[in-house]
Amino acid sequence: MDKIILGRYLPGDSLVYRLDPRGKFLLTFYFVGIVFLANNVASYAFLLAFVIFAVFLSKINFGFFLKGLKPVFWLILFTVALQLLFTPSANPLWHWGIFTFSKEGLVIAGYIFIRFILIIFISTLLTLTTTPIEISDSIESILKPLKKIKFPVTQVALMLSIALRFVPLLVDETTKIMDAQRARGVDFGEGGLIKRIKSFVPILIPLFVSSFSIAYDLAIAMESRGYKDGEGRSKYRVLSWDRRDNIMVIFMAAVTGILLFLRSY
């Protein structure tokens, strides 16, 4: 659990932390979109420089971002290898059966590698600098227009924040149950596949049972505190959009402009 960096929040304080989470959230998606506009060395270099600049602004140790690559390392390697070996070319450098290795393949593989890095770094940056609750508030705020088509935005937002609130609790509960079963002689991750799958029964059943009982208790507690449905509730956590966030949007627009320029260059 400790090894996965993607999707984890790291407490800290810097410019990136103080930005409005809605802006960060949307612009992260926007950035993932414009990554695909890059088509030559100059544009990729520019995007890489931008991401490194953003990481620098966040004041987070760069090592964390490298750690974030670890879980997807094999996926990157696999994709890059496929590109290297299967890009069709008129004058391959090397050819053997179905495999071709060419200059074009090398370039495309390089682009894809950088693209992976860009997307993973920027999304790691979002999750490292934004608390889960800020992300769920942003989603609620962004989904608000869907109310017009009768989409239950407030309920979904509440579900999201309860789900997020219970992630650490359930992780704790899982560790505790695993420890308790280990103390009773269960070996997790040992033996054949069937044995391994079977060893999860003593974790999953107690975990589901306790989730149901937590949900039941929470529902009663919410009702007794006057909750009826999502409608008509006020909001305690208010997101504020200020000058910094405007600058961020303008900055992103400039990035897009330069990117378009470099693309046709």
Partner 1 sequence: MEITFEHVTHSYNPNSPTANLGLDDVSFKIQDKKFTAIVGQTGSGKSTLVRHINALLKPTSGTITVGDRVITPETNNKNLKPLRKQVGMVFQFPESQLFEDTVEKDIMFGPMNFGASADDARESAHKMIKLVGLDESLLEQSPFDLSGGQMRRVAIAGVLASDPETIILDEPTAGLDPVGRQEIMDLFKSLQQDGKTIILITHNMDDVANYAEEMAVIHRGKLIAQGIPQEVFNNQELLKEDLLTLPKSAAFAKELTEKGFSFEKLPITINELGTEIEQQLNGD
CB of 138 to partner 1, least distance (A): 24
Name the residue nearer to partner 1 (CB basis): 40 or 210: 210
Nearer to partner 1, 3 or 150 (CB): 3
Q: Which is nearer to partner 1, 90 or 183 (CB)?
A: 183
The Cα 45–Cα 51 span in angstroms is 10
Backbone phi, then psi, for 197, in 5-degree steps?
-65, -40
Nearest distance, CB of residue 207 and partner 1, angstroms: 9
**19 versus 128: smaller Cβ distance to partner 1:** 128
* Residue with Cβ nearer partner 1 (99 or 208): 208
The least distance separating partner 1 from the CB of residue 41, rounded to whole angstroms, comes to 36
Q: How far is the CB of 36 from partner 1 (least distance, A)?
A: 34
d(CA 141, CA 31): 20
Q: How far is the CB of 125 from partner 1 (least distance, A)?
A: 16
- Kindly tell me which of 93 and 201 has the beta carbon lying closer to partner 1: 201
Distance in Å, CB of 178 to partner 1, minimum? 9
Bridge partners (DSSP) of residue 3 are none
- Which residues lie near partner 1 (CB under 8 A)? 2, 10, 61, 173, 176-177, 179-187, 201-202, 205-206, 209-210
